[in-house]
């Protein structure tokens, strides 16, 4: 019988090589796989590339991973926000590389990686400094830049509900980047608030089918809305 | 030519002025800042608000005791979902944006040029780590891109210019600008003045605008 | 108040120009907007380009539209199937143009059109006659062909449930091409088996948000499974 | 060297032979024809079957009185959905395929070449309107591509060849071939024979195979 549930965060994270690319779900504080990020901190891999919408806040989670000097490079759309103190200090000190990616391009590059599309054209960023060095091309008289797929070695996902097959649902704006990152990660691991029996989630409502998911750890740290 | 002879719009009034032009049935994305205020000003018209973090049908802020921590907008503020709203992931959300499905996007800006270029993400060329978020996608994707901003910077410099000095967000996309002093269309001929606050003359406005303001014959100046 | 419901099939179809490109949902007989196809037949537009997975069977629906000489060109992955007699006769007689598109490329070209992506690269069809004349390019040492977006002037969609805002759900394998065609159509019109009040469909389970939908006609021609 | 000295596998036995190599937990897409028969042969192993029209967790055909007309597979046959199955649209379905998420795809074929090229969609170069369906996507996308087919055509010609004569489906993708006579791996050195039906010698098999068959030292011939 297939059973993607594992008993610990460490087991979920598994082996992560130095230099790996880690995709981290979430937008703002919603849908962030905080426990898995802690697990990655524990695990110890370094020289990481992190792909996330934001560059962490305060001194926990992503910010802590960066503060520990474990992140060589970060790709995100919104690095600077209230509380992104660790990132900003590292960046000013030249201790972390940054690639700013427009939010829609970030989402599409992740989906492309998951969908076997190595590159695509987008009108976003044409003529701006984020298009510098990128191939440009016209279609029907409009200018586009070419963007490439952004795959990850490991995707850290937060879900609302999961079953042993790895089928996932999310909650409200907690969905955000999680489904495309689950697709784009060579290995996708999930922390889920709730668990369900196989067949309990209506097959019409599964957002991430289990084919994209490798391991799930049940972390009922509380229904924040309850 | 006295400044006292006219009253600039307050931020809520600017939002209300934009809201007047928003039509029922439109799908609209509102940027952070003044644009956010527009949602409360559309009155009885049913307008569907999109938030790029995966919401359609975004409603107003909840009462403090009704906050749902899972429901935020792109500005990370707590919001509600109206009846008939929906949730989707980021790639689908930006498919809506990039695919031209939004009827309108209202953005704030540092500068807009008379050819429609917009600069609204990086405050300086040497800003080392500016946050672009969804601004570039929204600016190129929506069917209509309107900007709402103060007519002048805090230092008194024009924000409507011949050519943007800040790093660009997108080229030639802005169709209309609402400031605290005027409504201006961006046309193939440049800025066309549509209306001003009462008491403000064209010449006074031109003096604080960085590119020529045209007036069409049937304009309601 | 927004109300995308219309009272008749004719109203749903609206004005269709000669030479238009029509996207027709469905896979096999499931999820096919049969009533809307009939409506298009009634409406009278000719010289059409049709995009559909199959090229019609028997002498009804798409086959009838073709038999009436209204289709100049068809793009599909599986033109020849049991009962595709009308298509085959027209094709042999040189009276219809055919572009065969691999099924996954068809789906992706439609999604691209809906997502504002003018072109993308895919490994599908590399080195085959379906890649003849197409631009080829290597990424990381693997060969890909460039495919372009496939937008439609009108998309005909079959849904299971719809509300006045145009939010849709589908039923089982009736989902198929319908969601990507709704995205790719400049105008998307829907025949829906069931209707719901706004807010009645769980917002987590809406498959096609109303932003992609223009008009909906309620056609309760029977829950086939009941 | 008599044909009577060995018994070719029947179609169900060919399917059963393939099924033996399918591992629990794999996500598998089965082509039309013999591959379809594999699903019933995996026994107790939990294997998740994908159908390109938007199903994961496809189950067996329903009893005639339990047919759900909305639930068909890519071959347009009525099927069921196992517990834990899911529905999705065509672009998501082919994202699974093209994105390399399927562990295995088993296809029928007209011909397979010793470099792994497969021809399985158009029966002749001048076939004017062949139906490709999802064959080309499946052939390039799955992590493993296996072919199950008769060793010879009805006319007695080899289907394992040096170079395909039929229009190609994909280049260099086939990893293993199951015929009614043998199991053959496709390697960088060409066809490597893994096993034959009892009583069939390598030389007899080579005589009806269109490209050299290698045998590795530790092969179970």
D54 touches chain A (CB under 8 A): no
Q: What percent of chain A has pLDDT over 90?
A: 92
pLDDT at residue B130, rounded to an integer = 81
Between β-strands A5-6 and A215-218, what pairing exists: parallel, antiparallel or unpaired? parallel
pLDDT at residue B221, rounded to an integer = 43
Instruction: Please check whether residue C99 is in contact with residue C109, taking contact to mean a CB–CB distance below 8 angstroms.
Output: no
CB atoms within 10 A of CB D98: 26
Tokens 């394992």 sit at which residue?
D160
Least confident stretch, A51-60, B108-117, C211-220: A51-60
CATH number of the domain located at residue range(s) A5-218 in this protein: 3.40.1080.10
Taking an 8 Å cut-off on Cβ atoms, the answer to whether B132 and A111 are in contact is no
C abuts A (3+ Cβ pairs < 8 Å): yes
Split at pLDDT 50, 70, 90, the class of B125 is low
Which residues on chain D are in Cβ contact (under 8 Å) with C103? 52, 90, 94, 132-134, 137
Helix (H, G, I), strand (E, B) or coil at B195: strand
Mutate: best of A121, A123, A137, partner C, most C CBs <10 A: A121
CA angle C104, D28, A6 (to 5 degrees): 115
Class of domain B11-179: alpha beta
Q: Which residues pair with A162 in a beta bridge?
A: A168, A195
pLDDT tens digit string along C138-160? 999 999 999 999 999 999 999 99
Taking an 8 Å cut-off on Cβ atoms, the answer to whether C119 and A121 are in contact is yes
Q: Residue A121, exposed/middle/buried by CB under 10 A (0-12, 13-18, 19+)?
A: buried
Taking an 8 Å cut-off on Cβ atoms, the answer to whether D83 and A199 are in contact is yes
Alpha-carbon gap, residue D28 to C181, rounded angstroms? 27
Given B25, B50, B98, which is nearest C116 (Cβ)? Answer: B98
Chains A and C form CB pairs within 8 A to the count of 54
Which tokens hold the place of B82? 């109206």
Taking an 8 Å cut-off on Cβ atoms, the answer to whether C108 and D129 are in contact is no
Nearest to C171 by CA among C194, C142, C140, C152: C194
Taking CA–CA distances from A173, the nearest residue in chain C reads C204
Q: Residue B172, exposed/middle/buried by CB under 10 A (0-12, 13-18, 19+)?
A: middle
ipTM (interface predicted TM): 0.96
C108: alpha, beta or left? (left if phi > 0; alpha if psi -120 to 50): alpha
Dihedral angle, C-alpha B136, B138, B143, B146, nearest 10 °: -90
Split at pLDDT 50, 70, 90, the class of B127 is low
Shortest distance between the Cα of C139 and any Cα of chain A, in A, equals 7
Concerning whether B3 is annotated as a catalytic residue, the answer is no
Q: What is this structure's pTM? A: 0.97
Split at pLDDT 50, 70, 90, the class of C84 is confident
Alpha-carbon gap, residue C182 to C107, rounded angstroms? 12
pLDDT at residue D221, rounded to an integer = 43
Given D25, D56, D141, which is nearest A116 (Cβ)? Answer: D141
Split at pLDDT 50, 70, 90, the class of C223 is low
């Amino acid at each position: 019988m297939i059973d993607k549930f594992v008993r610990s965060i460490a087991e979920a994270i598994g082996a992560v090589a130095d230099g790996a690319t880690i995709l981290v779900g979430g937008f703002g504080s919603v849908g962030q796989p905080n426990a898995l990020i802690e697990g990655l901190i524990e695990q110890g891999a370094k020289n990481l590339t992190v792909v996330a919408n934001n560059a962490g806040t305060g001194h926990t989670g992503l910010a802590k991973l960066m503060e520990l000097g474990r992140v060589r490079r970060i790709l995100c759309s919104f690095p600077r926000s209230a509380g992104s103190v660790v990132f900003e200090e590292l960046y000013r000190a030249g201790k972390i590389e940054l690639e700013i990616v427009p939010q829609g391009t970030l989402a599409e590059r992740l989906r492309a990686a998951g969908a076997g599309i190595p590159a695509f054209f987008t009108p976003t960023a044409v003529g701006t400094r984020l298009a510098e060095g990128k191939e440009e091309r016209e279609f029907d008289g409009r200018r586009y830049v070419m963007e490439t797929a952004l795959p990850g070695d490991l995707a850290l996902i937060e879900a609302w509900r999961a079953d042993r097959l790895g089928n996932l649902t999310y909650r409200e704006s907690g969905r955000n980047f999680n489904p495309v990152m689950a697709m784009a990660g060579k290995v996708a691991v999930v922390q889920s608030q709730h668990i369900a029996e196989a067949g309990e989630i209506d097959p019409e409502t599964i957002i991430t089918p289990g084919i994209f998911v490798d391991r799930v750890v049940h972390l009922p740290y509380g229904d924040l809305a309850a | 030519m006295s400044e006292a002879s006219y009253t600039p719009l307050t931020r809520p009034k600017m939002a209300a002025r934009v809201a007047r032009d928003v039509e029922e049935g439109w799908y609209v994305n509102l940027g952070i800042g003044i644009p956010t205020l527009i949602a409360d000003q559309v009155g009885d018209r049913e307008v569907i608000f999109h938030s790029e973090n995966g919401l359609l049908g975004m409603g107003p802020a909840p009462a403090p005791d009704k906050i749902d921590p899972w429901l935020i907008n792109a500005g990370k503020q707590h919001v509600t979902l109206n009846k008939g709203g929906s949730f989707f992931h980021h790639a689908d959300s930006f498919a809506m944006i990039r695919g031209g499905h939004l009827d309108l996007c209202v953005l704030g800006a540092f500068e807009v040029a008379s050819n429609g270029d917009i600069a609204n993400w990086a405050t300086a060329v040497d800003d080392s780590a500016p946050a672009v978020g969804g601004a570039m996608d929204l600016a190129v994707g929506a069917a209509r891109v309107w900007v709402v901003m103060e007519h002048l910077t805090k230092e008194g410099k024009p924000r409507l210019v011949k050519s943007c000095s800040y790093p660009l967000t997108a080229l030639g996309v802005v169709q209309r600008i609402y400031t605290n002093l005027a409504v201006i269309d961006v046309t193939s001929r440049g800025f066309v003045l549509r209306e001003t606050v009462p008491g403000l003359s064209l010449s006074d406005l031109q003096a604080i605008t960085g590119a020529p303001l045209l007036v069409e014959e049937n304009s309601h100046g």
